[in-house]
Structure 1
Amino acid sequence: MRSTRSEGFAGTIQAGKGAPVECAVRRGGATPTRRQLVVGGLAMAVAAGASSSVRAASLVVRSIRVDVSNIADYRSGLARLASRYKTALVDIGAEWCEVCSVINQRILPDPEVQRALEHVALVGVDVTQTNRTTRELLQYLHADGPPTVFIVDTANGREFAGTRSVGSFTAADLLRRLRPFAPA
């Protein structure tokens, strides 16, 4: 088992002969999202040597997710991702955002989206708290608020033209934005 520590835990869990599972857990007192609980539970089940059906389900968990809520964490998150990923999908959301819940529960878990995210990291920008820090982060990202998604170059943080979506969208819409960054 290999792991790295910085703003929480991020690393790979290897359980027996099963495939390694990439995972990332945010540090802090924030309540984890449903998706984070499911992903964490699958990773723990694999690490504990669970049945092969759970092991097969865990293979969907391939992209690394970094959760941020301020500019410094955003920059350092991209820097950490740059060694492994050329691009990252920035997902600006909030717990109070209903469309964000749809994105988290239906669009991001979509199998085709998950396959595309094997090659694109995910940066979750949490703006649940409305304060000076999150307003500065939104301004830095040129966003009015959630839900907003776009794709950036992890090496320099520059947004790729034509990848931004504001408001609701479908899995097919997201796939059209991700396809140029994921090998066929």
Structure 2
Amino acid sequence: MCVHPGCSFSSWTSNTHQLRASGPDEQPNEKSQLGGLASTVPPADKSSSFERVTTRAGLTRALAAARQAGRPAVVDFHADWCVDCTRMKHTVFADPKVRRALSRVAAIEFDVTAYNTGQQRLMQRLEVFGPPTLLFYTESATNDMPDRRLVGAIDTDTLLHALRRIGANTAS
């Protein structure tokens, strides 16, 4: 459910009924069925500032680690099929000022490319309509903070401002 006005994800979702998960948390294993075609989940981009997770358990662990370290966190709901997500990955998140700011927080990418049942349930629980959505947590937060979220495509200045609001030092 990409929030980009021109995105065709809504029509694409009708074909996702064939997606099959492999575990109790409904995390697909290394290969998942999507429209009858096997696809592999690529490893996280080594140049990325984000820790990549795909399950509720992974997100819970990453947020707990951030709290334990006393760090604010940002969770980026991302999907490879989301046009705005891909554009932001190559522009906003690649900006040196953003990369420096993200190094001061726990930056977590929740990858919903597979869009399995477990991911859909978590998105509903967190009231995430679809990617791109960014959720921001202070270092002591235990739940999503609805007043600290960005939905849709954003620019560098908007992200830096949001990171400052959760206590991330965004100075060079």
* TM-score band, normalised by shorter chain: 0.5 to 0.7
2:152 aligned partner = 167
Q: How does 1:30-179 map to 2 (within 5 A)?
A: 30-32=41-43, 36-38=45-47, 65-160=50-145, 162-179=147-164
The one-letter amino acid paired with 1:32 is P
Does the 8 Å CA contact 2:126/2:144 hold for their aligned counterparts?
no
Q: CA deviation at 1:74?
A: 1.0
Asked if 1 retains the 8 angstrom alpha-carbon contact of 2:148 and 2:162, the reply is yes
Work out whether residues 72 and 106 of structure 2, in 8 Å CA contact, stay in contact via their aligned partners in 1.
yes
TM-score (norm 2): 0.67
Provide the TM-score with structure 1 as the length reference: 0.63
Specify which structure has the bigger relative contact order, considering alpha-carbon pairs within 8 angstroms and separated by 6 or more residues: 2
Matched residue of 2:104: which SS? coil
Structure 2: which amino acid aligns with 1:148? T
Aligned to 2:58, the other structure's residue is in SS state helix
Deviation at 1:66, TM superposition (A): 2.5
- Would the aligned equivalents of 2:79 and 2:113 in 1 still touch at CA under 8 Å? yes
Q: How many residues were matched structurally?
A: 131
Change (3 A) 1:161 1:130: closer
Cα deviation 1:33-67 (Å, max 9, x = unaligned): 5xx1445xxxxxxxxxxxxxxxxxxxxxxx5x332
Percent of counterpart pairs with the same letter? Answer: 31
What residue number does 1:48 align with?
A: none
- 2:81 counterpart SS class: coil
User: Structure 2 regions of 5+ residues with no counterpart?
Assistant: 1-28, 31-40
Tell me the distance in 1 between the aligned counterparts of 2:139 and 2:168.
15
Per the alignment, in what secondary structure is the counterpart of residue 91 of structure 1? strand
Aligned to 2:59, the other structure's residue is in SS state helix
1:179 aligned partner, one-letter code: R
The alignment's C-alpha RMSD in Å is 2.1
Shift of 1:85: 4.2
Equivalent residue of 1:107, what SS?
coil
Q: In structure 2, what is the equivalent of residue 13 of structure 1?
A: none
